């Protein structure tokens, strides 16, 4: 069995606490304040398409990219019968390829934190800048060091659901600013037995100055950094921040 199959099947359960509607409203507000009322918009790391579908419902022509075909299979199933026109592409966000530019790109649910090095982060930023329309927006969120160090730390948590039991074991590595999560799923079969699935997720926190410098090198200006779902400056106890960057128009830009 593909290692992502079990995880994809319960992904939306694990993400049940995510306020997708609020996230979509927040991103829509930012886009419209910048005059982006419609047009092509790309979501990086779209997973099962929860945000992609919501933004499509708001009138945007959506493209969703994810590296897991299992996730995208679920996303496509949930779009069946709906005329949402979403194009789902199975690609790695560090190497994604489009046929042209888009008005905006967004990436949420701490997906950017899965970039393990400044080099990987730089690759994503350069591709984003390359495929944005002149002056287009890039909106993304990031988990903070505070979340990894003070909230998750080395703690273990558990959740029970009718589909099974889920255990998260967190380990924090301060020198690398890395959060490692060992996730164990005990998924119910139809005969009272369980099947066990394990995987590890590793995320890294970045100082905002590093992010700003990498955006600058990629050809984008960081025009806003906010505490989650607000227009307030990040706080010492912010667990998630939103960052808004604008493509710095370059007439010599070429598709890579």
Residue 237: CB atoms within 10 Å: 11
Asked whether this chain's domains 5-143+207-247 and 147-204 adopt the same fold, the reply is no
The answer on pLDDT for 1 being more than 50 is no
Confidence of residue 5 (pLDDT cuts 50, 70, 90): low
Beta bridge partners of 4: none
Topology of domain 5-143+207-247, CATH: Rossmann fold (3.40.50)
Report the chain's terminal Cα–Cα distance, integer Å: 35
The 10s digit of each residue's pLDDT in 93-137 is 999 999 999 999 999 999 999 999 999 999 999 999 999 999 999
Residue 96's pLDDT is: 97
Contacts of 54 (CB under 8 A, 6+ apart): 20, 21, 24
Residue 157 has pLDDT above 50, yes or no: yes
Angle, nearest 10°, between helix axes 50-57 and 69-79?
40
Average pLDDT over residues 224-230: 97
Please tell me the distance from the alpha carbon of residue 8 to that of residue 74, in angstroms, as a whole number: 8
Q: Hey, what CATH topology would domain 147-204 get?
A: N-terminal domain of TfIIb (2.20.25)
pLDDT the model gives residue 128: 98
Mean pLDDT value across the chain: 90
For residue 2, what pLDDT band results from cuts at 50, 70 and 90?
A: very low
Using CA of residue 129, residue 140, residue 174, residue 14, what is the dihedral sign? negative
pLDDT computed for residue 81 by the predictor: 67
Between 141 and 185, the higher pLDDT residue? 141
| Position 196 pLDDT exceeds 90 | no
CB 88 within 8 A of CB 66: yes
Q: Crossing angle for the helix pair 50-57 and 20-33, nearest 10 degrees? A: 50
> How far is C-alpha 118 from the chain's CA centre?
17
pLDDT of 162: 76
Q: How far apart are CA 62 and CA 217, in angstroms?
A: 27
pLDDT digits (tens, 9 = 90+) for 26-63: 999 999 999 999 999 999 999 999 999 999 999 999 99
pLDDT at residue 166, rounded to an integer: 85
User: CA nearest 203: which of 96, 95, 109?
Assistant: 109
**Taking the domains of the chain in order of start, what are their residue ranges?**
5-143+207-247, 147-204
Which pLDDT score is estimated for 164? 76
pLDDT at 126: 98
Q: How does residue 161 score in pLDDT terms, banded at 50, 70 and 90?
A: confident
Percent of the chain scored above 90 by pLDDT?
Answer: 74
Residue 45: CB partners within 8 Å, gap ≥ 6?
65, 66, 93, 107, 108, 109, 111, 114
Q: Cα–Cα distance between 217 and 106 in angstroms, integer?
A: 19
Residue 165: φ, ψ to 5°:
-115, 140
């Amino acid at each position: 069995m593909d290692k992502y199959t079990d995880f994809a099947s319960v992904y939306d359960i694990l993400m049940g606490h995510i306020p997708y509607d609020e996230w979509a409203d927040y991103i829509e507000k930012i886009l419209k304040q910048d005059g982006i009322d419609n047009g092509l918009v790309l979501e990086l790391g779209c997973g099962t398409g929860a945000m992609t579908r919501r933004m499509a419902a708001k009138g945007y022509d959506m493209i969703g990219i994810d590296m897991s075909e299992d996730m995208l299979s679920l996303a496509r199933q949930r779009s069946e019968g709906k005329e949402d026109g979403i194009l789902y592409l199975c690609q790695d966000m560090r190497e994604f390829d489009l046929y042209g530019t888009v008005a905006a790109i967004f990436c949420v649910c701490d997906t950017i934190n899965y970039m393990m090095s400044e080099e990987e982060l730089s690759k994503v930023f350069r591709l984003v800048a390359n495929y944005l329309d002149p002056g287009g927006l890039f909106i993304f969120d990031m988990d903070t060091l505070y979340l990894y160090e003070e909230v998750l730390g080395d703690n273990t948590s558990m959740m029970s659901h009718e589909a099974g039991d889920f255990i998260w074991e967190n380990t924090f590595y301060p020198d690398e600013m890395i959060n490692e999560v060992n996730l164990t799923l005990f998924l119910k079969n139809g005969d009272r037995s369980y099947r066990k699935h394990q995987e590890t997720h590793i995320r890294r926190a970045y100082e905002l100055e590093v992010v700003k410098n990498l955006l600058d090198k990629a050809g984008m200006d960081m025009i806003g950094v906010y505490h989650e779902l607000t227009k307030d400056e990040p706080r010492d106890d912010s667990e998630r921040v939103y960052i808004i960057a604008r493509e710095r128009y370059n007439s010599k830009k070429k598709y890579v």
